[in-house]
Amino acid sequence: MSVLTRDEAQTRASLIEVHRYTIDLDLTRGDEIFGSTTTIRFTARETDVDTFAELKPAALHRAVLDGQELPLDNAADVIAEGRLPLTGLAEGEHELRVETDMRYSRTGEGMHRFTDPADGETYLYTMCCMSDANDVFVGFDQPDLKAVFELHVTAPPEWTVLGNGIATRVGEPHEGRWRLAPTPPISTYLFAVAAGPYHSVRTEHAGLPFGLHVRRSLAPYLEADADELFDITRRCFDRYHEIFDEPYPFDSYDQAFVPEFNAGAMENPGLVTFRDEFVYRSAVTDAERQTRAMVIAHEMAHMWFGDLVTMKWWDDIWLNESFAEYMGYQTLTETTRYTDTWADFGVRRKNWGYDADQRPSTHPVAPEPEQVPDTAAARLNFDGISYAKGASALRQLVAWLGERNFLDGINAHFARHRFGNATLADFIDSLAEASGRDVHAWADRWLRTTGVDTLTPVITTNGGRWTAEIHHQGTDESSPRPHRIAIGLYDHEPAAPHKLVLRDRVEAELNEGGGALTLPFTGPRPDLLLLNDGDLTYAKIRLDPGSWKTVLRSLSGLPEALSRAVVWNAARDMVRDGELAPGAYLDAARAHLPHETDIAIVQGVLAFARNQIADRYLPAHRRAAALATITATCRDLLRRTEDGSGPGLRLAAVRTFIHSATSAAELSDWLDGDTVPGGPALDPELRWQILGRLAVLGAATPGDIDAELVRDSSATGQEGAARCRAALPDAEAKRAAWAALFEPGDGPELSNYLVTATAGGFWQPEQHALLDEYVTAYFPAAVALADRRGPAIADSVARWGFPSTVDERTLRLGEECLNSDDPSASASTSPELRRRLGDEIDDLRRALHVRQAQENEA
């Protein structure tokens, strides 16, 4: 199957203009295929044009160009290649009509089909981004060939159909026919349809219909959250209309929460799709509700940046994602009860960007055109750099330009390119004109470079004066960027030495090129000097020795959550760079998390302590002590919240305690009693978490898992059972999980979510001896699976299925897989697998480096 290259896309865009798609989908043809008939009206710009349309059909029945049947004697080649040749086109208007059968997907790509185990109902939805539209309909599948889309659907009569435009039943009810209103010009990757017996909650706002949709088995949970979801949606909608001159450009705003969705959400105009884990059927923390709200705000921002104005090619994907990421957090802060969103960004999202930017697979936020030669390469860039680093860069840009200039530039950009396509240069031009500043030079330093700068203070005192010398260092690959930062000066509060008070916050500009900035002060030096206070820039920071002593004593006493997040990130970076012992990080967590009030910080610190320090950065013989420290920290949080205060903190502590427990007795008592002493009562999520940990510890049986599945037979229950079965410390259980993942049988293969669940349960640090034989087998098995099942499964099996062993043998086997000349054993055949394996191998290499640093200190 061919991938579309940038050169091919540019050539095709120069040759044709696409006007309209009329698509007719028949969703009544059984469990495996659906009918797709597509009529495309387009214009050839010159005579004797040779081009092609993309398609990935199960069967190609007819292709008619301008009323003439195209010969299909080469149909097998067309299907194999994924391209329908269109040759010798005359200048002027043309009509192409193609009738196909298409396959349903079980991997979250194209038209995904899901049958709910809770009630047997079936649901469909599309995921066309970024090059999967041709799994649904025939088209010219590139972002700069926008067109009007009109959709007709035949579905079972009891189903609801949703799409980019308002959906209306037509004909007799028993016919199950629907027509969706034509869209404004949009890109093929934004085409969307969802169909099934969805449960809907509807309202109207600003004259537009708004809807929330979910499968029926989740209806009670949607009803419970509908007011909150609509409130967030309305607030974001109104805020965007305050700051954007261009009104919302589509005819409705539906949000569908769909099963087995690979992304967090997708910004299809008029029909945003979300993973249905965002419809909570178990207790969640306020930080998780804030995350859901941010995703709502993020996707709505795309209606303007991405849908109204779209990049020309995928090298500018950051224009979509970085902008939506920045606007999502900023809009929540301005319009909702979530006023500390940037602290959550700092401890959760920003670290995603920092980590990605320090791997060999790093790339500029805005890559050069030759770095994104085709759609396969572009797919790899939906990562922490395009989202988190890009949003960090935009936040720094706003601090430099001023918000008013930034918004003026954006509105000029929308006005110039509405319903069209634009490039990075177009965007920068608009910002430069609005601000009068050299934004192009800024973009070259921030968007065309890779790596993370490091800012380090050196403090000297001289009588009643002191000096802060800020050293500004780039990576080996690039010189340092310019930074606009705030520097927080904090002192211990005399009456409460464990608390810190802000003496002053000083703004400073660090010029590009590195070196040191010297700032003189009078009076005593502060107890804590905190670079990048407020987290306005994207850089690793370090603390001087005196400030680090203050942090160890009084970190939880810093008055603002965002300042504490900056310090925790500094400590995290120092551990990852081998400059701070992992045990010292655990000691800081033990001392300060019991007093922390921000849930996002608690969750982020506990996750790093549990998943990285305990499982990877400490040698095996120190793991039990690390887990004991983590569980003791969780117990302190539980004691603090016994009075019912801080339910989110309590829930975060309960989850990490479960995951870190080394003794089965207490967890078994909780499961038998269906509650944590003092609360909360166990909901399905907590019960599966406990049973999963008991399975790892050898204190659960297959019968226990079967019984729990009877209690919770939902799709989430099926995933929990798969995870638990794979986690059992039993040779037969491991063989069965391995076969389900990697060895195709006679029945259907695991769906994308069941692959993730099974892989996530398989590798356990407690079971390395049992799993030894699978370490060698993993790499060739992953290559074969990726070749057979495609990019989504390749990414899952590399991300969740990578061996948990931290040793030189695993590193060597991984490197051999990446560098093998044998196509059957090399990850090179799958770009997604190669990228993810490369990242996992680099993380393994870093873990070995951290362990070595500890040995050298000892």
> Which residues are annotated as catalytic?
299
SS (H, E, C) 274-328: EEHHHCCCCCCCHHHHHHHHHHHHHHHHHCCECCCEEECCHHHHHHHHHHHHHHH
Could you give the CA distance from residue 411 to residue 418 in angstroms, rounded to a whole number?
Answer: 10
String of DSSP letters for 160-194 = EEEESS-EEEES-GGGTEEEEPPPSSB-GGG--EE
Region of 448 on the Ramachandran plot (φ > 0 left; ψ -120 to 50 alpha; else beta): alpha
Burial class (CB in 10 A: 0-12, 13-18, 19+), 103: middle
List, in order, residues 6 or more apart from 105 with CB less than 8 Å away.
111, 112, 113, 135
Structure tokens at 551: 């942090």
Q: Which amino acid makes up residue 658?
A: I
SS (H, E, C) 4-15: CEHHHHHHHHHH
String of DSSP letters for 89-150 = EPSEEEEEEEEEEEE-BSSSSEEEEEE-TTT--EEEEEE-TTTTGGGTS-B--STTS-BEEE
**Closest Cα to residue 403, out of 439, 435, 436, 447?**
435
Task: Map residue 453 onto helix, strand or coil.
Answer: coil
**Closest Cα to residue 637, out of 607, 668, 597?**
597
Could you give the CA distance from residue 763 to residue 103 in angstroms, rounded to a whole number?
Answer: 33
The answer to whether the beta carbons of residues 717 and 705 sit under 8 Å apart is no
**Closest Cα to residue 42, out of 177, 189, 145?**
145
CA angle 661, 698, 779 (to 5 degrees): 95
Task: Name the CA radius of gyration of the chain, rounded.
Answer: 28
* Helix/strand/coil percent split, the chain, to 5: 50, 20, 30
Could you give the CA distance from residue 647 to residue 642 in angstroms, rounded to a whole number?
Answer: 9
The answer to whether the beta carbons of residues 671 and 700 sit under 8 Å apart is no
Alpha-carbon dihedral 735, 738, 739, 742, rounded to 10 degrees? -160
Could you give the CA distance from residue 490 to residue 500 in angstroms, rounded to a whole number?
Answer: 6
CA atoms within 13 A on the CB side of 281: 18
Task: Map residue 390 onto helix, strand or coil.
Answer: helix
String of DSSP letters for 22-46 = EEEEE--S-SSEEEEEEEEEEEESS
Q: Length of the chain, please?
A: 858
The answer to whether the beta carbons of residues 240 and 301 sit under 8 Å apart is yes
CA 253 to chain centre: 22
Pairing of strands 253-258, 271-275: parallel
Could you give the CA distance from residue 346 to residue 566 in angstroms, rounded to a whole number?
Answer: 7
Residue 460 belongs to what H/E stretch? strand 454-462
Pairing of strands 122-127, 148-154: unpaired
